[in-house]
């Protein structure tokens, strides 16, 4: 006689280390196999969009730091670019280069965390993370030099950046750019052909090309599915059209491709950093912008290629000192749309790594 | 560069198939009547030459006289973009057809707009609040919510 079985519902999170924040998955299991998953979010909802309607354009910059707090620089950048587009502000050349330098350092830092914690989820407990942390620490030290902060930088301003870089910054950055490719190769050698890693990630959690486009996935998640789409290339903002870099893409759209795309993107970011340092001009770092900015009435949708995907700001101005509407297009929330399609049929242990391979940060999902 | 398509040209194409659909046009923005939103969206997605396969962003703005749902569309194939809008003049139960069956990207974003702005997307497969809990009073992103 067959044993009578029935599915069980298991709550993973909101307090669980593998959910990278306060994220809850209501998982229905048949034995160890995932039958259904329903994400439950909102535990970190602070109402940033509502708060922003009561603050001036400049006062909103620190709010953007608190979205994806592992990539605050690029959040700043996306927001100030949108405001500049709305108000028609021109940015000095030196500030443009500094912005690109900061954004690419942020991308490396964010990808290091993504790769490190992804391997952590895979069971390579803490060792890879600490290696990644070693390099991230150098980036954080550099950020500390320019703005005194280690997590929420608040460095970008409408019209440029808050202050020029100190004397010791460039030598330290050059050292970092010289060393980093070696470290990336080191991780790659340790991990890329590791049999356990391959067995756990190849063919696991496949996101097809069609579905990736249909759910408007972006960033490494979209590119891993074989779509060579990078906003820095397709719709260049700031001065990205002046740099020479490749857009790495995967083929299968599985966890392994998402991991590989991030590793390769770090190498491209180092390339961009090298070019930006070589061409960094002198001059002002911030344009003259009124303290209380009143952009003309209108609306704008500005987007950038943040480390995790297309980060957009939709701003509506009514010619007052505060935005009438302040909407954030969250790449990570939208990348999560296909979570169920990717995990159904896989085991609980795979659910953890598939979710980890999407690289989410709840500060931005909940806002 | 992503090319922002001229609203007028696209509106003319839409008018060939749906005569009464377009309510207003502004640069790269088309405002359609809420009733024909789904048909226009389907047309934009499936017409060769337009091929809007990618829904970048979906949100809503409260202008007090009306609520406006905003769709930022683009095509990865042709690298062009367009903004589509629909207006609801009712505040009690503003309703717009859901576009989840065209772009699944709208799934969470429509739930978010429903949660924070109180717009009902008819035909959405799972229209529940996204961030706030069921039973939360009101919709905080409305301008008259204090």
Mean pLDDT value across residues A140-161: 91
Do the domain assignments include residue A22? no
Q: How far apart are CA B144 and CA B146, in angstroms?
A: 6
Q: Do B132 and A227 touch (CB under 8 A)?
A: no
Q: For chain B, what are the domain ranges?
A: 3-92
> Per CATH, which fold does B3-92 belong to?
Beta Polymerase; domain 2 (3.30.460)
Q: Do B108 and A334 touch (CB under 8 A)?
A: yes
Do the domain assignments include residue A30? no
Do the domain assignments include residue A31? no
Q: Which two tokens stand for residue B70?
A: 């905003």
How much is the pLDDT for A121?
Answer: 83
CATH code for the domain in which residue A329 is found: 1.10.645.10
Q: Which of B59, B62, B70 to mutate to test the interface with A (most CBs of A within 10 A)?
A: B59
Mean pLDDT value across residues A296-317: 92
> Which of 247-286 (A) contact B at CB < 8 A?
none
Q: Do A324 and B61 touch (CB under 8 A)?
A: yes
Q: Do B141 and A49 touch (CB under 8 A)?
A: yes
Q: Do A303 and B56 touch (CB under 8 A)?
A: yes
Chain A residue numbers touching B131 (CB-CB < 8 A): 41-42, 45, 366-367
Task: Give yes or no for residue A7 having a pLDDT over 90.
Answer: no
Say yes or no: A310 contacts chain B, CB-CB below 8 A: yes
| Complex ipTM value | 0.91
- Neighbour tally for B114: CB within 10 Å: 21
Q: How far apart are CA B30 and CA A265, in angstroms?
A: 37
Chain A residue numbers touching B111 (CB-CB < 8 A): none
How much is the pLDDT for A278?
Answer: 92
Tally of helices (H runs) and strands (E runs) in chain B: 3, 8
Do the domain assignments include residue A213? yes
Do the domain assignments include residue A296? yes
Say yes or no: A42 contacts chain B, CB-CB below 8 A: yes
Chain A residue numbers touching B42 (CB-CB < 8 A): none
Which residues on neighbouring strands pair with residue B32, listed in sequence order? B22, B86
Gap from A234 CA to chain B (nearest CA, Å): 6
Chain A residue numbers touching B59 (CB-CB < 8 A): 314, 327, 329
- Dump pLDDT digits (tens) for A85-141: 999 899 999 999 999 999 999 999 999 989 888 888 887 778 888 888 888 999 999
Do the domain assignments include residue A21? no
Q: How far apart are CA A56 and CA A63, in angstroms?
A: 11
- More confident position, A60 or B8: A60
Of B55, B70, B131, the CB nearest to A366: B131
Provide DSSP, A296-318: PSEEEEEEEEETTEEEEEEEEE-
Q: How do the pLDDT tens digits run along chain B, 146 residues long?
A: 888 878 778 778 887 888 777 778 888 888 988 888 898 899 989 888 888 999 999 999 999 899 999 999 999 888 999 999 998 888 888 999 999 999 999 999 999 999 999 999 999 998 989 899 888 888 999 988 87
Say yes or no: A46 contacts chain B, CB-CB below 8 A: no
Gap from B130 CA to chain A (nearest CA, Å): 7
Q: How far apart are CA A161 and CA A346, in angstroms?
A: 47
Do the domain assignments include residue A114? yes
Q: How far apart are CA A141 and CA A136, in angstroms?
A: 9
Q: What is the dihedral of CA A161, A166, A172, A176, to 10 degrees?
A: 0
Q: Which domain holds residue A157?
A: 47-366
Of A47, A234, A334, the CB nearest to B2: A234
Say yes or no: A324 contacts chain B, CB-CB below 8 A: yes
Say yes or no: A214 contacts chain B, CB-CB below 8 A: yes
- Dump pLDDT digits (tens) for A218-264: 999 999 999 989 999 889 998 999 999 999 988 888 999 998 899 99
- Dump pLDDT digits (tens) for A310-364: 999 999 999 899 999 999 999 999 999 989 899 998 998 899 889 888 888 888 8
């Amino acid at each position: 006689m067959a044993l009578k079985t029935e599915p069980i519902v298991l709550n993973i999170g909101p307090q669980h280390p593998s959910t990278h924040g306060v994220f809850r998955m209501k998982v229905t299991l048949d034995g160890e196999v995932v039958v259904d998953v329903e994400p439950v979010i909102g535990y970190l909802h602070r109402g940033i969009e509502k708060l922003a309607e009561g603050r001036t354009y400049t006062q909103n910059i620190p709010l953007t730091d608190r979205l994806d707090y592992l990539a605050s620089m690029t959040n700043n950048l996306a927001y100030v670019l949108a405001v500049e587009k709305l108000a028609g502000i021109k940015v000095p050349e030196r500030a443009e280069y500094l912005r690109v330098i900061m954004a690419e350092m942020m991308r490396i830092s964010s990808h290091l965390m993504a790769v490190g914690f992804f391997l952590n989820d895979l069971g390579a407990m803490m060792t890879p993370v600490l290696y990644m942390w070693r390099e991230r620490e150098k980036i954080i030290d550099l950020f500390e030099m320019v703005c005194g902060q280690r997590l929420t930088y608040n460095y970008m301003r409408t019209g440029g950046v808050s202050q020029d870089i100190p004397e010791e910054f460039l030598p330290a950055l050059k050292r970092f750019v010289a060393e980093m490719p070696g470290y990336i190769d080191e991780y790659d050698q340790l991990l890329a052909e590791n049999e356990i890693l391959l067995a756990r990630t190849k063919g696991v959690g496949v996101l097809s090309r069609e579905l990736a486009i249909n759910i408007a996935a972006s960033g490494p998640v979209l590119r891993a599915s074989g779509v060579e789409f990078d906003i820095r290339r397709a719709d260049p903002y700031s001065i990205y059209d002046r740099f020479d870099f490749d857009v790495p893409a995967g083929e299968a759209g599985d966890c392994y491709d998402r991991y590989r795309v991030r590793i390769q993107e770090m190498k491209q970011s180092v390339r961009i950093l090298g070019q930006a340092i070589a061409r960094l001009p002198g001059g002002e770092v911030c344009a003259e912008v009124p303290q209380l900015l009143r952009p003309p009435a209108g609306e704008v949708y500005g987007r950038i290629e943040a480390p995790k995907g297309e980060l957009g700001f939709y701003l509506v101005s009514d010619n007052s000192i505060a935005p009438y509407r302040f909407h954030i297009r969250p790449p990570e929330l939208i990348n999560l749309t296909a979570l169920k399609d990717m995990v159904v049929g896989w085991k609980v242990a795979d659910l953890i790594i598939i979710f980890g391979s999407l690289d989410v940060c709840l500060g931005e999902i909940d806002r | 560069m992503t090319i922002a398509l001229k609203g007028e040209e696209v509106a003319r194409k839409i008018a060939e198939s749906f005569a009464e659909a377009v309510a207003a046009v502004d640069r790269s923005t088309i405002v359609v009547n809420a009733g024909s939103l789904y048909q226009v969206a389907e047309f934009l997605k499936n017409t060769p030459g337009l091929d809007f396969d990618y829904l970048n962003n979906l949100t809503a703005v409260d202008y007090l006289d009306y609520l406006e749902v905003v769709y930022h569309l683009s095509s990865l194939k042709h690298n062009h973009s367009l903004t589509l809008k629909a207006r609801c003049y009712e505040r009690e139960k503003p309703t717009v057809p859901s576009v989840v069956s065209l772009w699944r990207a709208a799934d969470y974003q429509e739930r978010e707009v429903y949660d924070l702005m109180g717009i009902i997307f008819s035909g959405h497969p799972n229209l529940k609040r996204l961030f706030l809990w069921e039973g939360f009073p009101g919709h905080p992103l409305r301008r008259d919510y204090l």
